[in-house]
Amino acid sequence: MNYKSLLKKEGISPTKQRLEIASILLDKPQHLSADQVLILLRRQGSKVSKATIYNTLKLFKLSGLVRELNIDSARTIYDSAAYTHHHFYNIDTFEVIDIPKDEINFDAFPSLPYGTKKDDIEILIKIRQK
Ligand SMILES: [Zn+2]
């Protein structure tokens, strides 16, 4: 994939660091924390700082290139599959597994609070080892 034109299309200036981060995270559908992105970048000899990684991930999120999953206050995962879908989260192994959007149906859905409209629905099903 040409990350340079992808970032430009989103109005993001394609700096060397941002391109390095894009090539790690957007390479395939995957779920990575900022720390995991850092580890993968270090492995390939990159010197991108942690602050740059955090800022870039926020930027990618705002532009819709990645989704942010806030699993708990200590764990934010970036999902390179930016389309609507749901997740299993294994609280024992920390594994995040995709659930296709169509595999969850609602029989009942609450009325939205006055003056609001639905933006997105994202279900996180927490699981654990037997
Ligand atoms: Zn996902």
Statement: residue 83 has pLDDT above 90: no
Average pLDDT value over all residues in the chain: 93
> In which band, very low, low, confident or very high, does the pLDDT at 106 lie, cut at 50, 70 and 90?
confident
Tokens for 86, please give them.
């749901």
Distance, CA 114 to ligand 1 centroid (Å)? 30
* pLDDT at 88 (0 to 100): 96
Give the residue from 85, 95, 98 showing the smallest Cα distance to 129: 95
Check pLDDT > 90 for residue 75. no
The pLDDT value recorded for residue 126 is: 95
Residue 1 has pLDDT above 80, yes or no: no
Ligand 1 centroid, distance to 29 Cα (angstroms): 7
Cα separation, 96 vs 80, in Å, equals 12
SS3 state at 33: strand
30 CA to centre of ligand 1 in angstroms? 7
User: Which pLDDT does position 13 carry in this prediction?
Assistant: 96
Q: What is the DSSP string of 63-108?
A: TTSSEEEEEETTEEEEES--SS-EEEEETTT--EEEE-GGG---S-
Task: Give 38 Cα–ligand 1 centroid separation in angstroms.
Answer: 19
The Å distance, Cα 76 to ligand 1 centre, comes to 12
Bridge partners of 109, per DSSP, are none
Every domain of the chain with CATH number 1.10.10.10 lies at 3-79
At residue 28, what are phi and psi to the nearest 5 degrees?
Answer: -160, 165
Whether the Cβ atoms of residue 33 and residue 77 lie closer than 8 Å to each other: yes
Compute, in angstroms, the gap from residue 125 CA to the centroid of ligand 1.
Answer: 12
Q: Which fold has domain 3-79?
A: Arc Repressor Mutant, subunit A (1.10.10)
Measured in Å, residue 82 CA sits from the centre of ligand 1 at 8
Query: Please, what is the end-to-end C-alpha distance for the chain in angstroms?
Result: 40
pLDDT per residue as tens digits for the range 11-54: 999 999 999 999 999 999 999 999 999 999 999 999 999 999 99
